[in-house]
Chains A and B, each alone.
Chain A
Amino acid sequence: MKGDKDTGMHKLNMTAIGESALLVEFGNHIGEQVHEWVQAAAARLETDPFPGYLECVPSFTTLTVYYDLLQVKNAEGNGTAFDYVSSLIGKRFESIVADGTRPREVVEIPVCYGGEYGPDLAYVAEVNGLDEKEVIHIHTSRELLVYALGFAPGFPYLGGLPDGISAPRRATPRLCIPAGSVGIAGSQTGIYPLETPGGWQIIGRTPLALFQPEQDPPVLLKSGQYIRFKVIDPSEYERLAGGSR
């Protein structure tokens, strides 16, 4: 069920996700170089789709490709459609390049940390042997790459979080987390655009709207941008939240 394609640069591992999707793995660690390849591959499929291609979803180290099995089946010969699509994708990815020279676009995200806005801040501090202020300082100290949008509309998956404030996901996901909540899961951090269930440790909340369905595109952030978190106090949060809603 796995097909390997060598791009010359690195080996691509492809895995079937049922009978209508497959996942291409560009590496097994989170890094900006691997992500450049993911973005380049997504761009290649968007400009040069194979027959039956529906859409693709980039993430940290992988690109998931969705296809219409019936259209693929019309074109393929022997073997599985998965093998056939794998070979089509492998050929397209032979010629992609990722030169890492694009300019950096930074979006500032105001966050009110701790208290009712960040119920897990104390837990994140405790598992890392820090106090809450140190966690906040580290969380706002870097520009973080938006690797992917997913989980919910406009939810940014961010990389580059320093190891010092990582924390495991909750063993059982919470059934309801408020919109704007900023969370940590392992070495990832992100922002919930909607009220939703989820298993991340919540350390703060932003008043910005990350998802606006009437806009085109309907999301605030794009993968490939950088964001920087900025501390605001509860009164600033209320002022910004009131102003944007």
Chain B
Amino acid sequence: MSMEVVKPGLLTTVQDLGRKGYAKYGIPKTGAMDGYAHRLANWLVGNHACEAALEITWSGFSVRFNRDMLVAITGANLAPVCGRIAVPMWRPVWFRAGSELSFKRPVSGCRAYLAAAGGLDVPQVMGSRSTYLRAKVGGLHGRSLQAGDMIPVKLTRHADKPLFVGAANSASEVFCAPAWSAAPRDGYGGTDMVVRVTRGREYGDFREEAIQRLIAESYRVQPDSDRMGYRLSGPPLLLETQREYISEGVADGTVQVPADGQPIILMADRQTLGGYPKIAQVISVDLPLVAQLPPGGSIRFREVSIAEAERLYCEAARELRLLRRMINYKLKED
């Protein structure tokens, strides 16, 4: 066993990139809410993107490393400290056995990711290590972490990288990190976060006034938002004619609107089918920004075309590939 949970914090779960191929049975994809930060955390410790990592929500989480370990923290800045020293984010960090890492308070965003070299060693359920809380499956015993939980980490050859071995042998500090870091994604959780959307399937069924409101007004994140959906409140988005819709497939980022006119953005633990009219669809590259919005945060929507959404997706993928190459180069150099 390699990591011991000292304090569970508000909500900490094991997540990978989610379940694929089970949607026809109604099994949600789940997986990391901020897939960008999750990928980077894994890459920074030399893992494949698909390894499981911890998703740490809000504050209060604390973990003890029971052996020397290479770790990376990305995503929200939840003020990670070791002893009284701030732990740098978006880079590999070498922790000595026995050291304790704590997350103090949200500075920006609300979900941090902690990856360990090798990946978290929990069993796969339906092809994934992701925790699906509502069905109590995956992750560590299908639940969020509790104090005293032991989280196994796979052994890996990355643990003998020259820089870290040297540092671990000589340094008196409990942890050490290189001077470089991957560019953090800025602007997590600010007010009036701009989120780009394409038109939803029932866009044309909404009143002209609703379409104008969707773009012009700001919508506030409600406290009952969770991994399944972000519930927003603001000027109601009403249909031209109220009617029932036939349930059909939805996607991550689908913005559906119940009869009360308050939109819900479907997130990682979303249902596979939905029966509420869909006014918009958050583009994939902006979903991590939604995932980092805390309750009380606010969103403004901006419409883009499908062609533009496709272009942004491919551009982001190119940037990620480049980033990964640079990280791999740096890891080898060190």
The answer to whether A213 touches B259, judged by C-beta atoms less than 8 angstroms apart, is no
With A148-B273, A151-B272, A169-B259 in contact, is A18–B314 under 8 Å at CB? no
Interface 0/1 of A186-221, CB less than 8 Å to B? 111000011111010000000000010100011100
Bound: A69/B84 CA distance, A? 45
- CB within 8 Å of B: which residues of A? 1, 15-21, 23, 30, 42, 54-64, 66, 69-70, 73, 80-82, 148-155, 157, 168-169, 171-173, 175, 185-188, 193-197, 199, 211, 213, 217-219, 223
The answer to whether B281 touches A55, judged by C-beta atoms less than 8 angstroms apart, is no
Q: Tell me if B334 counts as interface (CB < 8 A to partner A).
A: no
The answer to whether B228 touches A197, judged by C-beta atoms less than 8 angstroms apart, is yes
Q: How many residues of B contact A (CB 8 A)?
A: 50
- CB within 8 Å of A: which residues of B? 20-28, 125-126, 134-135, 137, 198-199, 201, 224, 228, 244, 246-251, 253-254, 258-260, 271-276, 281-284, 305-307, 309-310, 312-314, 317
Bound: A82/B249 CA distance, A? 16
Bound: A239/B123 CA distance, A? 33
The answer to whether B224 touches A175, judged by C-beta atoms less than 8 angstroms apart, is yes
Bound: A16/B281 CA distance, A? 10
Which residue in A54, A56, A187, A194 is a CB contact (below 8 Å) of B20? A54
The answer to whether B134 touches A57, judged by C-beta atoms less than 8 angstroms apart, is no
- Chain A residues with CB below 8 A from B274, complex form: 151
The answer to whether B313 touches A20, judged by C-beta atoms less than 8 angstroms apart, is yes
The answer to whether B313 touches A80, judged by C-beta atoms less than 8 angstroms apart, is no
Bound: A173/B258 CA distance, A? 8
The answer to whether A19 touches B284, judged by C-beta atoms less than 8 angstroms apart, is yes
The answer to whether A81 touches B310, judged by C-beta atoms less than 8 angstroms apart, is yes
With A15-B201, A59-B247 in contact, is A20–B23 under 8 Å at CB? no
| A70 CB, min distance to chain B CBs, angstroms | 6
| A71 CB, min distance to chain B CBs, angstroms | 11
- Chain B residues with CB below 8 A from A30, complex form: 246
The 4 lowest CB-CB distance pairs between A and B, nearest first, are A64-B249, A150-B273, A186-B244, A19-B309
The answer to whether B244 touches A185, judged by C-beta atoms less than 8 angstroms apart, is yes
Which residue in B137, B228, B259, B306 is a CB contact (below 8 Å) of A16? B306
Which residue in B247, B254, B276 is a CB contact (below 8 Å) of A60? B247
- Chain A residues with CB below 8 A from B312, complex form: 19
| A189 CB, min distance to chain B CBs, angstroms | 12
Which residue in A56, A151, A211, A213 is a CB contact (below 8 Å) of B247? A151
Q: Which residue of B lies closest to A64 (CB)?
A: B249
Q: Which residue of A lies closest to B199 (CB)?
A: A1
- Chain B residues with CB below 8 A from A154, complex form: 25-26
The answer to whether A16 touches B26, judged by C-beta atoms less than 8 angstroms apart, is no
With A1-B199, A55-B21, A171-B259 in contact, is A157–B247 under 8 Å at CB? yes
| B306 CB, min distance to chain A CBs, angstroms | 5
The answer to whether A150 touches B306, judged by C-beta atoms less than 8 angstroms apart, is no
Q: Which residue of B lies closest to A157 (CB)?
A: B247
Which residue in B28, B228, B309, B314 is a CB contact (below 8 Å) of A70? B314
Additional 8 contacts, C-beta under 8 A, given A57-B272, A148-B273, A185-B275: A17-B251, A19-B306, A20-B284, A59-B247, A61-B248, A169-B275, A193-B26, A213-B125
The answer to whether B247 touches A188, judged by C-beta atoms less than 8 angstroms apart, is yes
- Chain B residues with CB below 8 A from A193, complex form: 26
Bound: A151/B272 CA distance, A? 5
Q: Which residue of A lies closest to B142 (CB)?
A: A213
- Chain A residues with CB below 8 A from B313, complex form: 19-20, 69-70
Bound: A30/B246 CA distance, A? 8
The answer to whether A152 touches B275, judged by C-beta atoms less than 8 angstroms apart, is no
Bound: A70/B28 CA distance, A? 22
Q: Which residue of B lies closest to A156 (CB)?
A: B26
- Chain A residues with CB below 8 A from B271, complex form: 150-152
The answer to whether A82 touches B24, judged by C-beta atoms less than 8 angstroms apart, is no
Bound: A54/B252 CA distance, A? 14
> Residue among A62, A151, A173, A219 with the most chain B CB within 10 A?
A151
